[in-house]
Amino acid sequence: MSELEKVHAQIRKCRKCRLWKTRKHAVPGEGNPKAKIMFIGQAPGKTEDETGRPFVGRAGKLLTELLANVGLKREEVFITSVLRCFPPRNRMPKKDEINACNPYLKKQIAFIKPKTIVLLGNIAIKTVLGDIGKLEKIHGKKIKRNGITYIPTYHPAAGIRFPKLKKKIEMDFKTLLNQ
Ligand code: SF4
């Protein structure tokens, strides 16, 4: 078992925050373990909880479409999220849950060693980069830290609700063409 697979096995049986009690399946993430590009969302939704796979509901369909627009397949990249268990009724992640789950994300980044990380939505941006400003100002900008290029953008779920934001995500994803 690779180091990455060991982390995923730990996530599947994790009880470090309250969410283990209500989850059906933890969702460690999936994709190429040597991906050059990684995508980080907020938390599993209902469909993800039922399947144990990341981004497979409506927002996932949009993410797959956005990837295809820039010539990428899901299997080429690595897709995960800040929390690995479904917050009941899709509520916002709580701070202690994010803190409990964050070491897994750090380990995944360390083992996958992506060159680029796309941060999908405010929770992913704040967790990984801290407070770097309002999303409407920073989305689509390349932020370099410790040898990794971060690209903050809106969460695909926001793109489903607001067509204007979908256009912005599409533009931000085009940044991936010039890596
Ligand atoms: S959300 Fe993260 S920390 Fe909480 S139980 Fe699930 S895997 Fe563990």
Q: What is the 3-state secondary structure (H, E, C) of 115-127?
A: CEEEEECHHHHHH
Cβ(158) to ligand 1 under 6 A?
no
Closest atom of ligand 1 to CA, residue 20: 5
> Can you tell me the mean pLDDT for 53-65?
97
Query: Mean pLDDT of all residues in the chain?
Result: 97
- For ligand 1, atom 3, name the residue with the nearest CA: 101
Residue 179 pLDDT exceeds 80: no
**What is the 8-class DSSP label of residue 56?**
-
Cβ(27) to ligand 1 under 6 A?
no
What is the pTM assigned to this prediction? 0.97
Question: What's the pLDDT at 178?
Answer: 73
Spans of all domains in the chain = 3-178
pLDDT tens readout for residues 73-105: 999 999 999 999 999 999 999 999 999 999 999
Residue in 97, 102, 108, 127 to alter for ligand 1 test, most ligand atoms within 8 A of Cβ: 97
Which is nearest to 172 in space by CA: 51, 70, 20? 70
Q: Report the top-level CATH class of 3-178.
A: alpha beta
pLDDT tens readout for residues 117-126: 999 999 999 9
**What is the 8-class DSSP label of residue 1?**
-
Evaluate whether 151 touches 175 at the Cβ level (below 8 Å): yes
Give the torsion sign (CA, 14, 16, 22, 26): negative
pLDDT tens readout for residues 109-160: 999 999 999 999 999 999 999 999 999 999 999 999 999 999 999 999 999 9
pLDDT tens readout for residues 20-57: 999 999 999 999 999 999 999 999 999 999 999 999 99
Residue 72 pLDDT exceeds 90: yes
